[in-house]
Amino acid sequence: MSDIATVPAGSTTAGPDSAPAADTALVQRRIRRWLLLFIACLALSGLTAFPLQTETSLLSRLVDATGLDGALPALGAWVDRVREGVADGYGTHPFLAYGTDWLAFAHLVIAAAFWGPLRDPVRNVWVVRWAMLACGGVIPLALVCGPLRGIPVFWQCVDMSFGVVGIVPLLIVHRLIRTLEWQRAVTAHHDFARAAPCP
- Domain locations in the chain as residue ranges: 24-48+98-187
In this prediction, residue 11 carries a pLDDT of 41
Give per-10-residue mean pLDDT for the chain (199 aa). 43 43 82 97 94 94 92 93 95 93 96 96 97 97 96 95 96 96 78 55
In this prediction, residue 197 carries a pLDDT of 54
pLDDT digits (tens, 9 = 90+) for 56-83: 999 999 999 999 889 999 999 999 999 9
- Give the count of beta carbons closer than 10 Å to the beta carbon of residue 182: 22
Q: Return the closest-CA partner of residue 129 out of 159, 164, 183, 167.
A: 167
Q: Which residues contact 142 (CB under 8 A, 6 or more apart)?
A: 151, 156, 159, 160
pTM over 0.85: no
In this prediction, residue 23 carries a pLDDT of 81
DSSP 199: -
In this prediction, residue 199 carries a pLDDT of 56
The half-sphere exposure of 24 on its side-chain side, counting CA atoms within 13 A, is 12
